[in-house]
Structure 1
Amino acid sequence: MDGMPSVLPDGEPVPDDGALPRHALEGAAGRPLGFYLHVPYCATRCGYCDFNTYTATELRGSGGALASRDNYAAHLIGEVRQARKVLGDDPRPVRTVFVGGGTPTLLAAADLVRMLAAVREEFGLAEDAEITTEANPESVGPDYLAELREGGFNRISFGMQSARQHVLKILDRTHTPGRPEACVAEARAAGFEHINLDLIYGTPGESDDDWRASLDAAIGAGPDHVSAYALIVEEGTGLARRIKRGEIPMTDDDAHADRYLIADEAMAAAGYSWYEVSNWARTPEGRCLHNELYWRGADWWGAGPGAHSHVGGVRWWNVKHPGAYAQALAEGRSPGAGREILSAEDRRVERILLELRLVDGCPLSLLAPAGLAAARRAVDDGLLEPAPFEDGRAVLTLRGRLLADAVVRDLVD
């Protein structure tokens, strides 16, 4: 799941032309560059979703034609052209493109292909570029998938969430059990090289047996990548309101831990290896390279309403509403709503936060003395692997993965 958050942070204004400080582009040739293309439309709003997305009803009377998905691709392509101007003569070909949402596949396949073509025309794509789109199982079919593949997409991520109908109902998902597995087969037939299934565990009313059934169905479909995320109940969502009213029980942290252990055991038995706390792949080639750009602090440009970007220690985010986004581009302005320039300390802490979640962990050299002492205690407590620690890296054990947030807090103090 790669959607953009619905609440934007504070920050300094973005210049109208989107210009970056000179230092942001220094050394850029040595950093990978990716593009995230946000499609903010959904047919319905899922009860747990806190991403920056809009249904047709929510947009009615708000933003007019500028907010419509019918001409959305043209607006987003306008930002890709703007990115070329901001990055100047940056020679890097794009290593990854990830189209997320929302539901990107509510747009015509031709629109997604046009958006990708704009990135290719302006920047070029690396020879082995990873090109991903998210898709809801009910929004695609064989012809649609074939058009995407012919247009250059080589990886697709389906939102499966669960194989149990009553769990899907709690999550307000509209596809039927079995459809995601069929999508995997259709994507393979269309020639997609890499396929992911997204799962969610810890939904109210889900049992261990329900979760095992979902894992069995996902693994049985044969994707080369599976993501499994604990359900987070965000304030302001429909699910949070239902829990507050007592209609359904609150999710349980202990159940989350149990489900994670069940998932890791099932994945390992089926030949999948974890490479990030919530992600498993059959082979190194099956890993999501785009997410690895995020986790390893590379450069990426996020195009679309509410999308976030990072280049050379400068992070910025776009205005949220599709109408305001389109209006800014129509007026020749950057759609950026704010930005922050990360200090060396900010970047050090972020590296620990993100890299510790990876299978190869983070260098101990990133840790302050107090953090290094905490890491030694974490080894003694069975939260960090002892052998990598002796080699200068902090790598989570299985128990450490269950308590990753707490371990990170100790290491950054």
Structure 2
Amino acid sequence: MGESAHQPRQSELGSDLLRIATAGSVDDGKSTLVGRLLYDTKSVLADQIDAVTRASVDKGLDGPDLSLLVDGLRAEREQGITIDVAYRYFATPGRSFVLADTPGHVQYTRNTVSGASTAQLVMLLVDARNGVVTQTRRHAAVMALLGVPRLVLAVNKIDLVDDPATVFAEISAEFAQITEVLGWSPDQVQAIPVSALHGDNVASRSANTPYYQGPSLIEHLESVPVVPDREPVGVRFPVQYVIRPRTAEYPDYRGYAGQVAAGRVSIGDEVVVLPSGVTTTVERIDTADGSLPTAHTGRSVTLILADDVDVSRGDVIAAVADAPEPVTQFSATVCWLGDKPLRPGARLLLKHGTRTTPVIVGSLDTRFDEQELRLADDPESLELNQIGRISVTTAEPVTADDYTVNRETGSFLIIDPQGGNTLAAGLVGDALSALHLRELV
């Protein structure tokens, strides 16, 4: 993560909270746009503005370079690109926002996947001078697979083209064709011509774009409905640590610490420990600040169970009513992030929740060509940044939901057992089936 990796809980920022992310190619102006959002919503301190202004003067610029409000890492500033995910928080009178600013360079696609995985809306930028490019199509495909409910196409640097009305219309039409194939309806996608540098159509509608009659970016962000991504599921609680203090005060204490990954848990709830299948009830919910009657998604707690059952790190405590079936074989859609290609028979590690287990890739069933928006069956390999459907066999049972049922417990990582590097981001089930694609012939 970047400088500010902590994401506040919904309760910390209010009930009307929108989680957004940026995506786009290098030099499309994402950092400048995010800096403009922070600046126009007065979400930065005066001394930060002064520091940015001084740094901009040192670079020979006439005005403040707002991208410096975002690219805080020295390596980012020196390269002039965003290289990590950084979370920013800002608010308007109508709504609070958590924004994940993600990299645009193809080398950091894995960071983009991470930043957009929890987003309810993604702002996808294109440079008006370049239009829709390879990385635009790739990012749109990734957002579709992740199930992002809404997109904003920000056609940036619109002030730098000779015929902005025609350019905006052509880019919007091309992007609309892509998003329709990927499964979005027209009301889920909003195209806006902007100039992040000058602030056109960011905080307010600009007189410089008379051909555009829609909302400004902030007006749109304030107005889109915040709805649950999917139907709620019962509690999913991956056990991170078993607490046995063995003190005179707590001679028999046995608690299971972790974070509520989905749903909510309350005292008295009937739960099942997976993969063993043993049922029990929740006797107490402890935190560092005392006990709670109920814990919601994202809350870190320690559960005390009524019965003395065998629970270890990597187990999942789930609601009895809709507990997923532990499996050792399943199909998944993955975005391959390794430099070396993925081939059938690869022996790797799979990390799901708090469980890490050896995994064998059994077959590569389908490759998704995100540029042509088609499918190819039985590929020989998956190369860097390619997306495909694979089958896997795990050494230990994995308690996972289908990604279309629940994002948090339907996603996983594939890891290099030697170096520990992340090789793939995976979604349990066939996420590709939700796309309106043709077979590649």
- What TM-score comes out, normalization by structure 2 length? 0.27
Q: Compare relative contact order (CA 8 Å, sep 6+) and give the higher one, 1 or 2.
A: 1
Higher fraction of helix = 1
Higher fraction of strand = 2
